[in-house]
Amino acid sequence: MEQGHSEDRINAALSELRGQLGGSLLQPGDAGYEDARRVWNGMHDLHPRAIALAGSVADIDPVLAAARSTGLVLAVRGGGHNVAGHGSVEGGLVLDLGRLREVAVDPVTRLVTVEPGATLADVDRATVEHGLAVPIGVISATGIAGLTLGGGVGWLTRSDGLALDNLNSVHIVTAAGDHLRASEHENADLFWGVRGGGGNFGVVSAFTFRARPLPQPVLGGNLFYAPEHWKAALAGFETWSRGLPDEMNPIVSFIAFPAEFGLGDAVWMVIGCAWAGADHQPGLDLIDRLRRLAPPDQEEVGPVSWLEWQSAMDSLFPTGSRGYWKNVSFSRLDGEVIDVVAGIASEVQWQGTGIDIHLLGGAFSRVPEESTAYPNRSSRFLMNVYGFWSDADDDVRLTEFARQAHARMQPFAEQGEYLNFLGGETRQDPQAARLTYGADKYGNLIDLKQRYDPGNLFSRNHNIQPRQPSTAP
């Protein structure tokens, strides 16, 4: 009887929500439900009780109210690209903001205001026509919301910092339904927490970024290395990477490319270089120095549009892929570490799994450690071991590859992991969160959670659990 009353209450609340939305509410059996429930990572094949497709930011309030009144577990989805599958929930309520993609650029102040469903491509298209760019990620289909709240590592990290470092302010709706503006000067504690704390504290309804000038075209370069040259190329890269100017943004990748790239079936090491300076010649000189230290087997270097550069790798990550990622921060790239990295890379024998090593430092490292919740500013490198495949029979093998690679790097690892490159197993593990953030930041994040979300309404994330969870009204 009690269960029946509960079901009646939930059904009544969802029926009321359907009438309140400017967008639409989809439930199992409704046209469009099957498409709406799917997220980028096909390993998370979940069936929500209801999916609210927001028609405007005004739809956030009634969805949060419905989650509070029904007790349904809430998932908040922006671009739906989260590898851990946080944008959906089995049997729960999804707030899907993916239709809200407006980007407004003020070319005078260089402030860019972005709705929470926008992708990186939406932001890039809006800013590039003004000769501007917001430092964001490297796959243009990624949602701006999750990327920013977790960090935002990309092709401008050394020159300009993370995406969250370039936030001017956010508008956020809290678990209690309060609408707050958070910046360095308003609700500064909340602003600290959303910059690295993920979606733990509310639904961000608008992001305002500071953009940087980025004249078109930009200088981009890719140097390709066959396996027999990997160790020498990594040693050359290590020498070259010391003392680089901020404008040079390199990423080292090991990957088997799809056929459309025309690189055959081999696994290549690629040193990608994005030069953020207006004058290309200093960047060309630096790439020439790298070429001498680590002679490539193939290369492509020259002017390229920012939109083309930002979307060049999109086809590697198609929606519906099954995916699992692990990451590690480290600072050494001596012979011992090179042997381990090359050994891990030698096991990448199939299309769909790869390794990226981001060179950090520069503007990223000059942001004071205590100024944001992001876990670690001191390491020189961030390695992401990622998999994306289509056959469920490969889940165990390829997930284990990422875990083993992560384990083999632990002797060189430094404190902190990057939330956006984590699988979902840490979601409800307080010890994992403590290890990720360190004791001081983790304690501050718990204090914020206790203040802004004591009932843990926002739990579908790498969760910061409140000290004394309370029952939502």
Statement to judge: residues 222 and 210 lie in one domain = no
Q: Which residue, chain included where needed, has tokens 């405007």?
A: 56
Considering the domain architecture, whether residues 198 and 108 belong to the same structural domain is answered as: yes
Q: Which of 190, 214, 238 is the last residue of a domain?
A: 214
Within this chain, do residues 298 and 410 fall inside the same structural domain, yes or no? Answer: yes
Task: Using the predicted structure, report yes or no on whether residue 473 has a pLDDT greater than 50.
Answer: no
**pLDDT by residue (tens digit) across 80-96?**
888 888 999 999 999 99
In tens, the pLDDT along 147-189 reads 999 999 999 999 999 999 999 999 999 999 999 999 999 999 9
How confident is the model over 434-466, as pLDDT tens digits?
A: 888 988 999 999 999 999 999 999 999 999 999
The whole-number pLDDT of residue 426 equals 57
CATH number at residue 235: 3.40.462.20
| 448 occurs within a structural domain | no
In SS3 terms, the chain reads as CHHHHHHHHHHHHHHHHHHHCCCEEECCCCCCHHHHHCCCCCCCCCCCCEEEECCCHHHHHHHHHHHHHHCCCEEEECCCCCCCCCCCCCCCEEEECCCCCCEEEECCCCEEEECCCCEHHHHHHHHHCCCEECCCCCCCCCEHHHHHHHCCCCCCHHHHCCCHHHEEEEEEECCCCCEEEEECCCCHHHHHHHCCCCCCCCEEEEEEEECEECCCCEEEEEEEECHHHHHHHHHHHHHHHCCCCCCEEEEEEEEECCHHHCCCCCEEEEEEEEECCCCHHHHHHHHHHHHHHCCCCEEEEEEECHHHHHHCCHHHCCCCCEEEEEEEEECCCCHHHHHHHHHHHCCCCCCCEEEEEEECCCHHHHCCHHHCCCCCCCCCEEEEEEEEECCHHHHHHHHHHHHHHHHHCHHHCECCCCHHHCCHHHCCCHHHHHHHHCHHHHHHHHHHHHHHCCCCCCCCCCCCCCCCCCCCC
Are residue 344 and residue 389 in the same domain, yes or no?
yes
Could you tell me the CATH number of the domain that includes residue 111? Answer: 3.30.465.10
- Return the biggest CA–CA distance within the chain: 77
For residue 336, tell me if it sits in a domain: yes
**Higher per-residue confidence, 337 vs 317:** 337
In a domain? residue 303: yes
Q: To which residue do tokens 């802004």 refer?
A: 452
Among residues 223, 229, 276, which one has the least CA distance to residue 253? 223
| Residue type at position 98 | G
> Is 1 a residue whose pLDDT tops 90?
no
**How many C-beta neighbours within 10 Å does residue 60 have?**
24
Q: Is residue 240 a part of any domain in this protein?
A: yes
pLDDT confidence tier of residue 261, bands split at 50, 70 and 90: confident
Close Cβ partners of 71 (under 8 Å, ≥ 6 residues apart): 472
Looking at the predicted structure, is the pLDDT value of residue 397 above 80?
yes
CA-nearest of 253, 238, 412 to 340 is 412
What residues have CB less than 8 Å from 282, skipping those under 6 apart? 245, 247, 275
> Are residue 127 and residue 188 in the same domain, yes or no?
yes
CA distance 61 to 405: 43
**Among 214, 231, 257, residue at a domain's last position:** 214
The CATH number given to whatever domain includes residue 84 is 3.30.43.10
Boundary of a domain, candidates 195, 214, 233: 214
Please tell me the predicted confidence (pLDDT) of residue 387: 79
pLDDT tens for residues 34-56? 999 999 888 899 999 999 999 99
Q: Are 182 and 188 in contact (CB under 8 A)?
A: yes
Asked if 226 and 201 sit in the same domain, the reply is no
The range of the structural domain enclosing residue 371 comes to: 218-425
Q: Same structural domain for residues 284 and 367? A: yes
Q: How many domains does the chain have?
A: 3
For residues 192-196, give the mean pLDDT: 98
CB 87 within 8 A of CB 39: yes
Reported as a single tens digit per residue, the pLDDT across 116-129 is 999 999 999 999 99
Do residue 412 and residue 302 come from a single domain? Answer: yes
Q: Is 464 a domain residue? A: no
Beta carbons of 241 and 199 less than 8 angstroms apart: no
Residue 323 has pLDDT above 80, yes or no: yes
